[in-house]
Chains A and B, each alone.
Chain A
Amino acid sequence: MLHSRHLGLFMAIVLLLIGLAGPAASAAQEPVLLGLSVSTQSNPFYRNLAEGVVAEAQALGAQVTVLSADDQLEKQISDVEDLIAAGVDALLINATQDGAVGVVEQAAQAGIPVITLQRGVPSSLVTSHIGTNNVLIGQLAAQWLIDRLGGTGRIVVLEGIPGAASSEDRKTGSTPVFEAAEGIEIVAQQTAEYDRATALSVMENILQATPDIDAVFCYNDEMAMGALAALEAAGRDDVIVTGIDALPDALEAIRAGKLTMTIRIPVYDMGRLGVRYALEAIQGNMVPLRSVIPIEFITAENVDAPAPAPFEGPIKIGVSVSTQSNPFYQLLAQGTADEAAAMGYEATILSADDQLEKQISDVEDLIAAGVDALLINATQDGAVGVVEQAAQAGIPVITMQRGVPSSLVTSHIGTDNVLIGRLAAEWLVNRLGGTGRIVVLEGIPGAASSENRKIGSTPVFEAAEGIEIVAQQTAEYDRATALSVMENILQATPDIDAVFCYNDEMAMGALAALEAAGRDDVIVTGIDALPDALEAVRAGKLAMTIRIPVYDMGRWATRFGVWAVTHDIAVPVQNTIPVQFITQETLAQ
């Protein structure tokens, strides 16, 4: 009896275990399949990238197929064709050359989200590009050297292969920084073709011509190692040498006290981030259109420092938005709040009512309240002081849409108004079939958004042969002003085909003027997707408006803030969010 009771208990436990396992097994769906086409796996940099992709896919329960193109375009094209045929849910690609664009667009047109890593392709169909920004790297590296020299010194610059994009971009970033520093003199600036042996002889020659130097600034580690060899042979150990790439022997040279600094690009995390973006895109969620990976300065102090311990426990997120009386920023705040709640953290949201003074005291309050991360949508550049105060207190700062000019900001996420202007103008040119007389209504003169939309759109109109801008006026982003300006323009030049407005407010004003004049033959476009602009699109009056997914911007900013606190993954420093064209057709869907 006792025995059978034990047996009964045993049976009950077994049944319970089966019961627990049963639903889990049946709920296991077809796992997500990712495809990675990497340019080459013989280069440690790109091997590291692929390892990051594989590790993250495993961690998140996705399958991944990795194909290496051995730096051959033909192989990459057939690799990607194979991945498409294998039915991948998303394609991650590190392109060998721009020529891969065709097969990438083939994948995109088949409805497969495409994430390009480090080496992209020139296509507007790519979902997201994650990579470094060599202009930024040049700029930051130059500033680091100037600071290290205490602002004065005679320096030698070793450039990479002339005409190579990475070298030219690093030059564009670094040269102005050196020129702006008063105590810095560039005594020689030569190319050493990214090559160690070339750098050795170039450096020897420079030492003959101008031995009196304080530092050598190299566009990569190979050249830095060559320059070090020349300096060592000349018995010079008083010269600061910097490189870029964090190659294994460069790290060795740093440990030995020979190389002063090199820059590490967290390419492993780039691969991991690519997987996270791909999984979101498969779900149909918005992912940043472009993300720039951060860089790390490696010196003797931190070359062997252990990775920061992962942070666990509750996280308090502080959010300071410029104003909540504007629906656009209201949605931004809502996105941060919802994502924080979804991740199980607490968020405090403060609105500055568009006043700098209030924002400064808001942020001070958040710091005092002990927030772990600060998300801020700045009222003005003037908020930089209090933002740096937070950063210096060890709080990662993520700026949203309106940033501040500070190098202490961890990450910025926002729109790119130049890009918006370009895309909107291309849309209109396309819609007009390449010919037409158009009116342009600009925003507030001098406002950054208006000037940038102008920089993006004007060249598109000028390049289109059949397009004539018959009037280009400001209507101050204002509906009532746009009404009057449009009335006046209709007096001056009634023969128009389209009105291109830098925002929806002006588009609505222009529509009112056109309607009053009985003109329903004019194509009007706006930007912002305001509620009544959407109404006008639905009613067939407004041809197109652009939606900026500001709610998702808030969600990503929150994730970045949390990642920065937990040291989970390298947080991308600059993020551009995509835009959506809203027309009667897209609203009907």
Chain B
Amino acid sequence: MLPARLRTETRDWRRIGGSVAPIVVLILICLLLSLLTPRFLTSENLINVVRQSSLNAIVAAGMTLVILTGGIDLSVGSLLAVSSVFSAGTLAAGSSPLAAILAGIGIGLAFGVANGLIITVGDVAPFIVTLGTLTIARGIALVYTNGAPIMAMDNDFRFLGRGGIGFLPVPIVILIVVYLAVYFVLNRTTFGSYVYAIGGNQEAARLSGVRVRLIKAATYAISGLLAGLTGVILTGRLGSAQPNLGSGDELDAIAAVVLGGTSLAGGRGGIVGTLVGALIIGILSNGLNLLNVNAYYQPVAKGVVILIAILVDRRVRASSAA
């Protein structure tokens, strides 16, 4: 049983779509790292770690919408690669940086729409469909590049990845815009409430007049678009595009969503938790690098922290539900 005050806070957090446990875990990790290394709690490093986490966080924002409807999107890592190579390829072909950025985001959106249509109209399980597009997109990236990286050194193009607005790096600005937008959509629009409704009980939502297919397809389209955007940002950061970019990134995004307290069964959770989850994963990698931990122990440490965070989350939920 938690103290009354914390319980109220917990309820507040859940109302806006998250759980307090991930935040507690995040604060604990930050405290621990501050004690272990003086290099952690500096403004440069904090900006650095948020910038690094922003890529996973943006992908995870789209993933949150998909998972809230009870679905899954395994294709995001490959979409990131396809968008990266298409934008760099467009740039290399002599188009303007803006056209290159739009090409990258557009191909992500196109794949997202295809995912959504096959899942809803074709009535195939999201796991299977997005597994299919995962391999197709990766293959297209390989075919398009013939396996070799494409340079993208144009300074205007790289603004999305390397630029800054004031003291804030552009990826962080994009992160803030994306999260404000998704937060608004989820909590202040009927679309958002339909997303929760579908995840809670798809049949009931359908019977009460929700256009289930359209809403679900839209979540995959948004997920694809955000993966495409991330691919463009990453290309700008690296100054080149590679067909093998982002392989396995879908798992990081899913981990961020689940760490943030969103249920894989759908209907429960929210976008704020996902941001916290992405930060936990990013800070963990950052901290292990700062502490110069042996490479063999790093995956163990990451896995253990993720499991602890989820166990704590479950306990807090169970006791606050009681």
Contact = CB atoms under 8 A, between A and B. Distances in A.
B245 A480 contact: yes
Interface stretch (B120-128, B200-208, B211-219, B288-296): B288-296
A413 to B, nearest CB: 22
Interface in B13-46: 37, 39, 42, 44-45
A167 to B, nearest CB: 38
B142 A474 contact: no
A509 B292 contact: no
B180 interface: no
Contacts of A515: 239
Interface stretch (B146-154, B260-268, B308-316): B146-154
A404 B289 CA distance: 35
A488 B142 contact: no
B48 interface: yes
Interface in B229-271: 234, 237-240, 242-246
A358 to B, nearest CB: 14
Given A325-B142, A479-B242, A473 B295 contact: yes
B238 A491 contact: no
Main secondary structure of the interface of A (DSSP, over half): helix
A531 B237 CA distance: 19
A483 B39 contact: no
B298 interface: yes
Interface in A465-511: 471-474, 478-480, 483-485, 487-489, 491-493, 505, 508-509
Contacts of B146: 325, 327
Contacts of B245: 479-480
A488 B292 CA distance: 10
B88 to A, nearest CB: 11
Contacts of B291: 492
A552 interface: no
Contact of A491 (B39, B239, B295): B39
A512 B239 contact: yes
A339 interface: no
Contacts of A325: 142, 146-147, 243
A204 B242 CA distance: 70
A487 B298 contact: no
A491 B45 contact: yes
B39 to A, nearest CB: 5
B286 interface: yes
Given A480-B238, A480-B245, A480-B246, A535 B289 contact: no
A530 interface: yes
Contacts of A516: 162, 237
Contact of B151 (A472, A479, A509, A535): A535
A532 interface: yes
Contacts of B244: 478
Contacts of A474: 295, 298
A330 interface: yes
A326 interface: yes
A327 B148 contact: yes
A515 B146 CA distance: 27
A164 B296 CA distance: 39
Contact of B52 (A473, A484, A509, A535): A484
A258 B37 CA distance: 74
Nearest to A504: B149
A442 interface: yes
A480 B56 CA distance: 12
A87 interface: no
A445 interface: yes
A508 to B, nearest CB: 7
Contacts of B299: 445
B48 A491 contact: yes
Contacts of A531: 148-149
B187 interface: no
The 4 closest A-B pairs by CB, nearest first: A488-B289, A474-B295, A491-B45, A325-B147
22 contacts: A326-B147, A330-B147, A473-B289, A479-B245, A483-B238, A484-B286, A488-B48, A488-B290, A489-B289, A491-B286, A492-B290, A492-B291, A508-B149, A508-B238, A509-B238, A512-B237, A515-B239, A530-B149, A531-B148, A532-B149, A532-B240, A535-B151
Interface of A: 324-327, 330, 442, 445, 471-474, 478-480, 483-485, 487-489, 491-493, 505, 508-509, 512, 515-516, 530-532, 535
Given A487-B52, A492-B37, 14 more contacts: A324-B147, A474-B298, A479-B242, A479-B245, A480-B237, A484-B286, A485-B285, A487-B48, A488-B290, A491-B44, A491-B48, A492-B290, A512-B237, A531-B148
